[in-house]
């Protein structure tokens, strides 16, 4: 049976001079059977062969001409710790994912990639700057950084602290250099991020130390100036005056002398009033011997005059002479008593002034000592704070000089031996399978949508819905015509 070609509407098959069948609608058209598929492929075998061979050859040529690329991987370990006071604590597990994602973003950021571009001079590398036209050096750097970002992959180990830095390049040595450069720059940036706060702390601490030292020097200067102004060498004030305090001993001695002088003055007043002179009339009271002698002489003559007056009478020459001597002795006593009273008052006044001066001196010294105690307390406090700060300064400086970092190398990238796309046999197999699929599928699609023909009985039965009683080949048609 020869294939019948149709365009547009489905063909009609005449079984008799008066019978014809219209084609069913497109919704009723059944799927293709295996016989139909085989008939289409057999009829389109030249197209199938041409497509398969052409696609296979083209794929082989493309795979053969594919440029080779190499991948190098550097492995890093990232520790995550939080500083708390003087110690450190592990980061909570719920923050692990965020922390590692942040580190990956940092490694792919311009802060890391631009230094790598400068370090490896990628702006003059055709692989990373080829095809760029115009622009200044900053634009070229950004363009090279963009190409570099496309050839770098940062991945995290599953549930681990490992980061894998993978770089791809046509040159295996360059791939290893790029991976190691990214890891080195990121490690240096991370170290600097930890070091900058320590340096700032050292700088601030140094300023505080300078201020504390200035306070100590100022307090010491005040103490020195106070000594120079007052002339008091010993500024310590231990509270109440003690027995060993020279000023206090001097004051006590002067007060005792003043008390004796007051007693002497009272005695002098008693003598001046011609009162009887009594020994021990006051503690420390000293009566001159002349007064003692005159008092004794007056007492003796008074007794003698009393006796003579009884014997001789008041007009007797002896009585008159004794009365005259008694009056002279009394005048002498008055003069001595007046002189003694004047001397005792003068001595009392001098001692009183001395006691007042000593008390004023002690008050002034105590005032200076109180002021000095305050200054020395300020000095000691400033020295104590400065000493504690100076003791902690060494630790802060040592921490700032340390090479601490949260990032470490597990392994550096090595030069890859084989290219990343070296398995071309797999690509050839995939290309061959794809060529077969397209070669066999394209004719069927073309037959269904562009040039549908009738090749076998299934085409008639499925398309027209009528049974086929007999099928004749091409060679059977002339025989049937002749016999008829």
For residue 70, pLDDT beyond 60: yes
The predicted pLDDT at position 10 comes to: 40
- Which pLDDT score, from 0 to 100, does residue 93 have? 55
Report pLDDT for 422.
57
Where is mean pLDDT largest: 85-99, 291-305, 466-480? Answer: 291-305
Residue 470 has pLDDT above 80, yes or no: no
Residue 149 and residue 111: Cα distance in Å, rounded?
12
Considering only 27-36, 95-104, 377-386, which range has the smallest mean pLDDT?
Answer: 27-36
Instruction: Flag the least confident range among 43-52, 156-165, 466-475.
Output: 466-475
Mean pLDDT, rounded, for 252-268: 81
Mean pLDDT of 183-187: 89
DSSP characters over 328-381: HHHHHHHHHHHHHHHHHHHHHHHHHHHHHHHHHHHHHHHHHHHHHHHHHHHHHH
Distance, CA of 55 to CA of 264 (rounded, Å): 146
pLDDT average, residue stretch 187-193: 80
pLDDT of residue 180: 92
pLDDT (tens digit per residue) in 301-330: 888 888 877 787 777 888 888 888 888 888
Above 70 in pLDDT, residue 77?
Answer: yes
Flag whether pLDDT at 192 surpasses 70.
Answer: yes
- Looking at per-residue pLDDT, the higher value among 81 and 343 belongs to 343
- Of 202-206, 315-319, 474-478, the least confident: 474-478
Would you state the pLDDT for residue 439?
Answer: 86
| The two three-digit tokens of residue 454, written as one number | 């009738």
Q: Are 342 and 334 in contact (CB under 8 A)?
A: no
Residue 233 banded pLDDT, cuts 50, 70, 90 = low
Instruction: Encode 357-389: b = buried (16+ Cβ within 10 Å), e = exposed.
Output: ebeeebeebeebbebbeebbebbeebbeebeeb
- Taking the C-alpha atoms of residue 457 and residue 476, their distance in angstroms, rounded to an integer, is 16
Q: How does residue 187 score in pLDDT terms, banded at 50, 70 and 90? A: confident
Name the residue with higher pLDDT: 237 or 223. Answer: 223
- Quick check: 114 pLDDT over 80? yes
CA–CA distances in Å: residue 286 to residues 262, 278, 290, 399, 416: 11, 11, 12, 82, 122
Residue 280 binned pLDDT confidence (cut-offs 50, 70, 90): very low
Q: Which of 185-199, 254-268, 360-374 has the highest mean pLDDT?
A: 254-268
What average pLDDT is seen over the chain? 74
- pLDDT for position 202: 65
pLDDT of 1 reads 42
Which of the two residues, 268 and 180, has the higher pLDDT score? 180
Is the distance from CB of 152 to CB of 165 less than 8 angstroms? yes
% the chain with pLDDT above 70: 72
Phi, psi of 425 (to 5 degrees): -65, -40
Does residue 42 register a pLDDT over 80?
yes
| Residues 23-50, mean pLDDT to the nearest whole number | 73
Query: Which residues, 6+ apart, have CB-to-CB distance to 362 below 8 Å?
Result: 241, 247, 248, 251
Whether the Cβ atoms of residue 304 and residue 322 lie closer than 8 Å to each other: yes
Q: Are strands 407-411 and 162-169 parallel, antiparallel or unpaired?
A: unpaired
How is the chain split into domains, by residue range?
A: 4-50+432-483, 70-204, 246-401
Token pair for 322: 């004794």
- Give CATH for domain 70-204: 3.30.1890
All residues at 6 or more sequence positions from 401 whose CB lies less than 8 Å from its CB, including other chains: none
**Does 466 score more than 80 pLDDT?**
no
| Chain CA centroid to CA 24, Å | 83
Q: What's the number of CA atoms in the CB half-sphere (13 Å) around residue 449?
A: 6
Q: What is the mean pLDDT of residues 384-405?
A: 64
Candidate from 159-173, 196-210, 468-482 with smallest mean pLDDT = 468-482
Q: How far is CA 460 from the centre of its chain?
A: 86
More confident residue, 8 or 396: 396
Per-residue pLDDT band for 116 (boundaries 50, 70, 90) equals very high
Angle at alpha carbon of residue 216, lines to 215 and 222, rounded to 5°: 90
Residue 75: Cβ within 10 Å count: 17
For residue 5, give the H/E element and its range.
Answer: strand 4-5
**Mean pLDDT, rounded, for 369-389:** 75
CA-wise closest residue to 358 among 244, 248, 234, 239: 248
What's the whole-model pTM score?
0.43
Residue 6 has a pLDDT of 42
């Amino acid at each position: 049976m020869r294939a019948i070609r149709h365009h547009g509407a489905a063909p009609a098959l005449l079984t008799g001079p008066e019978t014809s069948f219209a084609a069913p609608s497109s919704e009723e058209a059944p799927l293709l059977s295996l016989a139909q598929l085989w008939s289409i492929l057999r009829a389109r075998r030249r197209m199938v062969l041409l497509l398969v061979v052409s696609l296979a050859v083209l794929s082989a040529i493309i795979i053969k001409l594919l440029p080779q690329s190499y991948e190098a991987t550097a492995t890093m370990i990232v520790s995550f710790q939080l500083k708390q006071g003087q110690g450190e604590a592990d980061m909570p597990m719920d923050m692990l994912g965020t922390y590692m994602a942040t580190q990956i973003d940092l490694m792919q950021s311009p802060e890391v990639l631009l230094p790598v571009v400068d370090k490896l001079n990628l702006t003059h590398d055709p692989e990373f700057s080829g095809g760029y036209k115009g622009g200044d050096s900053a634009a070229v750097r950004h363009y090279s950084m963009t190409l570099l970002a496309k050839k770098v992959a940062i991945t995290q180990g599953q549930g681990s602290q490992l980061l894998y830095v993978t770089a791809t390049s046509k040159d295996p040595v360059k791939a290893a250099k790029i991976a190691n450069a990214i890891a080195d720059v990121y490690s240096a940036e991370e170290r600097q991020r930890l070091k900058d706060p320590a340096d700032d702390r050292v700088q601030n601490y140094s300023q505080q130390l300078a201020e504390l030292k200035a306070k100590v020097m100022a307090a010491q200067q005040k103490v020195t100036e106070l000594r120079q102004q007052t002339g008091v060498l010993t500024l310590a004030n231990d509270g109440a005056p003690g027995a060993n305090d020279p000023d206090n001993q001097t004051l006590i001695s002067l007060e005792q002398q003043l008390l004796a002088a007051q007693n002497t003055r009272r005695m002098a007043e008693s003598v001046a009033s011609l009162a009887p002179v009594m020994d021990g009339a006051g503690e420390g009271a000293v009566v001159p011997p002349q007064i003692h002698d005159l008092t004794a002489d007056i007492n003796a003559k008074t007794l003698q005059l009393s006796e003579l007056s009884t014997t001789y009478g008041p007009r007797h020459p002896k009585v008159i002479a004794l009365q005259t001597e008694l009056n002279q002795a009394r005048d002498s006593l008055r003069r001595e008593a007046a002189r003694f009273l004047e001397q005792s008052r003068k001595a009392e006044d001098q001692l009183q002034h001395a006691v007042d001066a000593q008390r004023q001196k002690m008050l002034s010294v105590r005032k200076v000592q109180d002021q000095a105690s305050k200054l020395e307390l300020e000095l000691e406090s400033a020295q104590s704070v400065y000493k504690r700060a100076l003791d902690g300064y060494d630790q802060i400086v040592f921490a700032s000089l340390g090479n601490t970092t949260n990032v470490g190398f597990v392994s550096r990238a090595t030069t890859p031996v084989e290219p990343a796309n070296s398995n071309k046999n797999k690509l050839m197999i995939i290309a061959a399978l794809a060529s077969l699929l397209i070669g066999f599928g394209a004719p069927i699609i073309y037959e269904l949508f562009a040039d549908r023909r009738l090749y076998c009985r299934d085409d008639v039965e499925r398309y027209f819905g009528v049974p086929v009683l007999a099928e004749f080949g091409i060679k059977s048609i002339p025989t049937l015509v002749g016999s008829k």
